[in-house]
Amino acid sequence: MTISKPDLNDQESLGAWLREARLAHGFDIALAARRIRTRPAIIQALETDNYPALGAPVFIRMYLLRYGELLGLAEHEVLGRFKALGIDNPPPLRVADTLRPQAGSGDLRWLSYPAALALIGWLGWTVTQQLPELNADGATLPQGFELTGINPDQLTAESSPVPPIMIETPGLQAEAEAQASNHTDHIALALSEPEPDTVQSSTSTQLPVTSSGPLSSRSNGLTAMGSAIASEVESLEAIQPPEPVINEHELVLEFTDECWVEVYDADGRRLVYALLGANDRRVVQGTAPFSIRLGNAPAAQITFNGQYVEPAVHIPSRGSVNRFTLDTSHNDAQ
Amino acid sequence: MFKRIRGLFSNDLSIDLGTANTLIYVRGAGIVLDEPSVVAVHQDVNRGGPRTVAAVGIEAKRMLGRTPGNLTTIRPLKDGVIADFVVTEKMLQHFIRKVHSRRFFNPSPRVLICVPCGSTQVERRAIRESAIGAGARETYLIPEPMAAAIGAGMPVDEARGSMVLDIGGGTSEVAVISLNGIVYSSSVRVGGDRFDDAIINYVRRNFGMLIGEPTAERIKHEIGSAYPGSEVREIDVKGRNLAEGVPRSFTLNSNEILEALQEPLSAIVSSVKLALEATPPELAADVAERGIVLTGGGALLRDLDKLIMEESGLNVVVAEDPLTCVARGGGRVLEMIDEYGPDVFATE
């Protein structure tokens, strides 16, 4: 605590006034100190206006009152002179623990708000950078997929001519034309397949096309074929020409009833992964041996490299689900 | 969340929730409210409907002892702690709104409340809940002697002992403080209210007259004294004669009141002596040099400092403006809480 020493003006100082009063009473300092139950140093400090030595103003006030009472001075006059010194303000509060941080956490709390906003902004920017570009219709293509057979820019303008999608689907074209009258407003786009395991979930994307305007009027055949492709997209994988493989073998699957079919070749490629209906026929080519799973094996008829496979091979002894492997040894045995 | 928004439009308050008076200190504005802790409650006896607050503070105190059957004046605090939780909450709500006049939002201030150091955890929780119920956003509690010492301007942060005696309406607290902490404290449930009761009992016993609390308080203020002086003062009092049952007037003098106050005063002096006995020697030496500082409304009793000085052998001084010391000290603590967190000065 710091109490500045008051300036002495022309008038008699408080200390001098007290000293005069003491001398008038004939007290020495020791006697006066004993009378007011304090130390002589306190009396000396009071009489020399050495207030910093006396402590907080509340204690100075106490000493002055006691001393003034001893000397027969009016209380209000003593306190009035003391107040005139202007040192009666209470001492500033301080923390007693000097190791306590002087700047509390509350002072920096405001920094957390802009920091949080900056973090959110950075995260948003990062996510935006990671997202694929949107096409004009708002459809989003997953990463790793690309449009084939059509230029995406041509879909953005309704007035621009749309080239037909050229996909090799000889078995489905007639069926697609038959269904053309029932399916409109959608074009199914076959997508290239980045990984065999992810094809089932995202092999096609349907883009809405307005039914009015040059686009729709010019592409009746296109939409019909597209609708057919959409309904049979599963079979596209199977009939898409696989990469050239040396020692390819042919497997023909025919069904008399609905059956779930999975076919993998020796390279692990998934050749069929679909629910096929009655009278469906699926021809696949790949490297033998083929790993086959049939959900309704009694409904299947299998031809391997042109030779009919005996039902005993693929029909299980119990139930209808069977998993088995076909290799060239079947042909050799027969 | 909404309380935080409302907090932007509220002032931080330091509340001296006293048994007799409630004082509110606002940072930068000083003491903005000093009203009696009295609530007048209206209840329609015929219908048995809910109680409604009819008046709070000065208005309610004017009704004290003068109410009809459907009005009751309540002092919701007794001995420094809450006696009627609901009424205390209403009273606090009224006071908080009063110091936030002309505001669009209901105020939701941070509130520091001074509590007796002898209060139990249950009593402190009641005070805290009451303040939150009244709309406080955050509530801090601080022992009354600590707030009183700070308000009186004592250097509580120094490694030297300072003794403070805070005589309130319901309790008297004595504490030895050093390094921003309370080294020793004790609380006796004797205060201004007990002085009034003592005067009422003395008048009934010696004069056969019945007087009310406001009259007893007036006697205490005008001629009350704790130490025999050369001047004897007198006061004319009107009360009801117990034997005749009719109002009568009589005269009391300061020596009679001094005699009436002997019992509660000796309880306070005893607590001071006990505190001095329990104070560690180093701190006791500091107290012997610096003396004892009196705060609270009870310190205004004439010559109380002389009495304690005579009984303890130490210098005693009444703090400047002792009635507001606790509230002012709480206000300064609020500023420190902003800077150093709520654990400074043993706040809860």
Best residue in A2, A35, A38, A59 to probe B by mutation, most B CBs within 10 Å? A59
| Interface contact A58-B313, CB threshold 8 A | no
Q: What is the pLDDT of residue A197?
A: 46
Q: Which two tokens stand for residue A188?
A: 């199914």
Note whether B72 and B43 are within 8 A (CB): yes
pLDDT of res. A220? 55
- From chain B, pick out residues whose CB is under 8 angstroms from the CB of A55: 155, 290
- The CA distance from B50 to B63, in Å, is 20
Q: What is the pLDDT of residue B51?
A: 78
Cα B231 from Cα A115, distance rounded (Å): 71
Q: Which of B291, B333, B341 sits opposite A62 (nearest CB)?
A: B291
pLDDT at A226: 55
3-state helix, strand, coil in chain B (%, to 5): 40, 25, 30
Contact present, A184 and A210 (Cβ < 8 Å): no
- pLDDT at residue B40, rounded to an integer: 92
Q: Compute the average pLDDT of residues B68-83.
A: 86
- Which positions in chain B touch A93 (Cβ < 8 Å)? 150, 156-157, 332-333, 335-336
Question: Could you write out the DSSP letters of every residue in B73-100?
Answer: EE--EETTEES-HHHHHHHHHHHHHHHT
CB contact under 8 A, A106 and B154: no
CB atoms B339 and A104 under 8 Å: yes
* Other CB atoms within 10 Å distance of the CB of residue A151: 11
Q: Which of A142, A116, A134, A285 is nearest to A201 (CA)?
A: A142
Which residues are registered as beta bridge partners of A33? none
- Strand A204-208 relative to strand A186-190: parallel, antiparallel, unpaired? antiparallel
Q: Are the C-beta atoms of residues A176 and A229 closer than 8 Å to each other?
A: yes
- For residue A96, the model assigns a pLDDT of 61
- Chain B residues with CB-CB distance to A39 below 8 A: 289
| Cα A330 from Cα A328, distance rounded (Å) | 5
Residue contact A96–B180, C-beta within 8 A: yes
CB B330 within 8 A of CB B15: yes
Residue type, A249: H
* Facing residue for B315 by CB, picked from A37, A56, A100: A37
Q: Kindly determine whether residue B289 and residue A1, on different chains, have CB atoms separated by under 8 Å.
A: no
| Region of residue A164 (left: phi > 0; alpha: psi -120 to 50; beta: else) | beta
Taking CA atoms, B243 is separated from A94, B200, B240, in Å, by 61, 16, 9
φ, ψ for residue A194, nearest 5 deg: -75, -40
The whole-number average pLDDT for the span B158-182 is 91
Distance from CA of A7 to the nearest CA of B (A): 23
Nearest CB neighbour to A91, from listed B153, B180, B344: B153
Q: Distance from CA of residue B285 to its chain's centroid?
A: 29
Please name which of B62, B27, B52, B272 lies closest in space to residue B167, comparing C-alpha atoms: B272
Inter-chain CB proximity A1 and B155 less than 8 Å = yes
Closest CA in chain A for residue B295: A58
Task: Tell me what pLDDT residue A278 has.
Answer: 87
Count the helices and strands in chain A (H runs, E runs).
Answer: 13, 10
Judged by phi (left if over 0) then psi (alpha if -120 to 50, else beta), residue B296 lies in left
Cβ-count burial of A35 within 10 angstroms (0-12 exposed, 13-18 middle, 19+ buried)? middle
For the ranges B102-111, B138-147, B264-273, the lowest mean pLDDT is seen at B102-111
Predicted structure pTM score = 0.62
State the pLDDT at residue B27: 79
A 265-324 residues with CB < 8 A to B: none
Nearest CA in chain A to B180: A96
Chain B contact set for A52 (CB, 8 A): none
Q: In what order do the strands lie in the sheet with B247-253?
A: B209-210, B234-241, B247-253
Other residues' Cβ atoms within 10 Å of the Cβ of residue B20:
22
What b/e readout covers B264-278, taking b as 16+ CB neighbours within 10 angstroms?
A: bbeebbebbeebbee
Question: For residues B38-55, b (16+ Cβ closer than 10 Å) or e, as one string?
Answer: bbbbbeeeeeeeeeebbb
| A94/B contact by beta carbon, under 8 A | yes
- What DSSP assignment string belongs to B285-297? HHHHHH-EEEESG
pLDDT surpassing 60 at residue B159 = yes
- What's the half-sphere exposure (Cβ side, CA atoms, 13 Å) at B40? 18
Q: Are B320 and B293 within 8 A, CB to CB?
A: no
* Residues belonging to chain B with any Cβ–Cβ distance to chain A shorter than 8 Å: 150, 152-159, 179-181, 289-291, 293, 313-317, 319-320, 332-333, 335-336, 338-341, 344
Instruction: Please give the residue of chain A at the shortest CA–CA distance from B150.
Output: A93
Distance from CA of B290 to the nearest CA of A (A): 6
Is B100 a residue whose pLDDT tops 80? no
- In DSSP terms, which residues pair with A262 in a beta bridge? A273, A293
Q: How far apart are CA A263 and CA A269, in angstroms?
A: 8
B266, B258, B325: which is closest to B297 by C-alpha?
A: B325
Neighboring chain B residues of A56 at a CB cutoff of 8 Å: 153-155
The identity of residue A12, as a single letter, is E
Nearest by CB: B332 against A56, A59, A93: A93
Report chain A residues whose CB lies below 8 A from the CB of B290.
55, 59, 62
Answer positive or negative: Cα dihedral of B277, B283, B289, B294.
Answer: negative
Q: Give me the residue from B153, B335, B338 closest to A57, CB to CB.
A: B153
Query: How would you classify the pairing of strands B81-82 and B110-115?
Result: unpaired
Q: Is A76 on the interface with B (CB under 8 A)?
A: no
Q: What is the model's pLDDT at position B5?
A: 54
10 Å CB burial of residue B84 (0-12, 13-18, 19+) is middle
The alpha carbon of residue B317 is apart from the nearest alpha carbon of chain A, in Å, by 5
Shortest alpha-carbon distance between residue B289 and chain A (Å): 7
Q: Test A58 with B293 for CB contact under 8 angstroms.
A: yes
Judged on CB neighbours under 10 Å (0-12, 13-18, 19+), A284 is buried
From its phi and psi, is residue B238 left (phi > 0), alpha (psi between -120 and 50) or beta? beta
Higher pLDDT, B135 or B40: B40
Test B156 with A59 for CB contact under 8 angstroms.
no
pLDDT at residue B198, as a whole number: 95
Contacts of A153 (CB under 8 A, 6+ apart): none
Give A77 to chain B, closest Cα distance, Å. Answer: 15
Res B273 pLDDT > 70? yes
Give B-chain residues touching A106 at CB under 8 angstroms. 338-339, 341
pLDDT averaged over every residue in chain B: 87
Residue of B nearest to A59 (CA): B290
Give yes or no for A107 touching B (CB within 8 A).
yes
Neighbours of A195 (CB within 10 A): 7
- Tell if the CB–CB gap between A55 and B341 is shorter than 8 Å: no
Residue B112 pLDDT exceeds 50: yes
| Edge-to-edge strands, sheet with B292-295 | B181-188, B172-178, B162-167, B292-295, B316-318
- What does the pLDDT read at residue A54? 85
Q: What distance in Å separates the CA atoms of residue B259 and residue A236, rounded to the nearest whole number? A: 113
Instruction: Give the Cα separation of B264 and B191 in Å (integer).
Output: 8
Give the residues of chain A that fall short of pLDDT 70: 1-11, 93, 95-110, 132-247, 330-334
A218 interfacial to chain B (CB closer than 8 Å): no
**Hey, are the CB atoms on A58 and B319 less than 8 Å from each other?**
yes
Length of chain B counted residue by residue: 348
Amino acid A323 reads R
pLDDT-derived band at B251, boundaries 50, 70, 90:
very high
For residues B25 and A236, give the distance between their C-alpha atoms in angstroms, rounded to a whole number: 82
User: Is A95 within 8 Å of B344 when comparing Cβ atoms?
Assistant: yes
Helix (H) or strand (E) holding B131: helix B121-133
Q: Which of B290, B332, B336 comes nearest A59 by C-beta?
A: B290
